[in-house]
């Protein structure tokens, strides 16, 4: 495992670099997308909605890696700009047969399971019986849960609504696994740390649905779903 000290100037540099990157993408991205649409106007709308977003995402992921950021930062920035409304050149986007999300759904169905398979390959099951891993996982899970519950206190409304929003934000999901995978590939974290992170992701993800149902139980009984909580989360 690689050891060292925390360098505040390096952390600030990365934060500044990521902020500048996302700001630049948000500023220039729409112009680039419109230029690509004009260039590829002869394509069918389905082909354009597949090709242009794919090229845009791959390019931004490569650029993010080029400037020293994680590729997920570039992909996330591209996702912020990939809107069906950009494709008005093919008529009213609301009348298109397929949306970008619908077209990429089959690709997601293929790649997401492969991603989780790759994550599982890197985990040794015997590490889950290691007391050090279990203790570290418990600490990470506690911090992950408390951090989101405290964040939920900022929600306006009743205490139960604050609790529901905090619980709803608990799952770490794929993003946590992506950064853990990057860390282990760079030898920044070892197998034990990776296993602890994976366990934390599993616990927070699996525990959220029943806890959220409990938190919303009294307020939704006999009234249908509570839309206000969803609005607060957005």
What is the model's pTM? 0.62
* pLDDT at residue 108, rounded to an integer: 81
With bands split at pLDDT 50, 70 and 90, how would you rate the model's confidence at 227? very low
Structure confidence at residue 3 (pLDDT)? 52
CA 19, chain centre distance (Å) = 17
Instruction: Give the confidence band of 159 by pLDDT, cuts at 50, 70, 90.
Output: low
Whether residue 223 is predicted with pLDDT greater than 70 in this model: the reply is no
Least confident of 51-55, 150-154, 175-179: 175-179
pLDDT at position 224, please? 47
Q: What is the DSSP letter of 125?
A: G
Choose among 131, 118, 152: nearest CA to 196. Answer: 131
Is 55 within 8 Å of 74 (Cβ atoms)? Answer: no
Average pLDDT over residues 61-90: 85
Which residues in 93-104 are b (16+ Cβ under 10 Å) and which e?
beebeeebeebb
Judge whether 108 and 165 are in contact, CB under 8 Å.
no
What pLDDT score was predicted for residue 231?
Answer: 44
Read off the pLDDT of residues 166-201 as tens digits, 9 standing for 90 and up.
888 888 777 777 777 777 776 777 778 888 888 888
Q: How far apart are CA 160 and CA 126, in angstroms?
A: 39
**CA distance linking residue 149 with residue 142, whole number of Å:** 11
Widest distance between CA atoms in the chain: 61
**What's the pLDDT tens digit per position in 30-41?**
888 888 888 888
The per-residue pLDDT for range 96-145, each reduced to its tens digit, is 888 888 888 888 888 877 877 777 777 777 777 788 888 988 998 998 88
Mean pLDDT of 152-177: 77
Of the chain, the percentage scoring pLDDT greater than 90 comes to 1
Calculate mean pLDDT across residues 78-87. 86
The structural domains of the chain, with segments of one domain joined by +, span: 8-108, 122-220+227-233
Higher pLDDT, 231 or 161: 161
């Amino acid at each position: 495992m690689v050891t060292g000290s925390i360098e505040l100037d390096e952390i600030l540099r990365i934060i500044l670099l990521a902020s500048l990157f996302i700001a630049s993408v948000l500023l220039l991205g729409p112009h680039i997308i419109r230029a690509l649409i004009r260039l590829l106007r002869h394509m069918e709308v389905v082909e354009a909605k597949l090709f242009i977003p794919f090229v845009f995402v791959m390019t931004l992921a490569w650029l993010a890696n080029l400037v020293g950021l994680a590729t997920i930062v570039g992909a996330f920035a591209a996702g912020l700009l990939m809107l069906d409304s950009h494709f008005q050149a093919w008529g009213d986007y609301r009348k298109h047969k397929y949306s970008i999300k619908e077209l990429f759904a089959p690709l997601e169905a293929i790649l997401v399971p492969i991603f989780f398979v790759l994550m599982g390959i890197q985990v040794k099951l015997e590490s889950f019986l290691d007391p050090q891993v279990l203790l570290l996982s418990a600490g990470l899970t506690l911090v992950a849960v408390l951090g989101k519950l405290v964040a939920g206190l900022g929600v306006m409304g009743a205490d139960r609504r604050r609790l529901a929003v905090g619980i709803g934000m608990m799952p770490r999901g794929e993003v946590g696994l992506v950064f853990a995978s990057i860390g282990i590939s760079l030898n920044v974290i070892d197998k034990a740390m990776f296993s602890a992170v994976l366990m934390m992701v599993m616990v927070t993800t699996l525990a959220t649905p029943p806890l959220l149902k409990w938190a919303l139980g009294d307020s939704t009984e006999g009234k249908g779903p509570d839309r206000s909580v969803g609005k607060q989360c957005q």
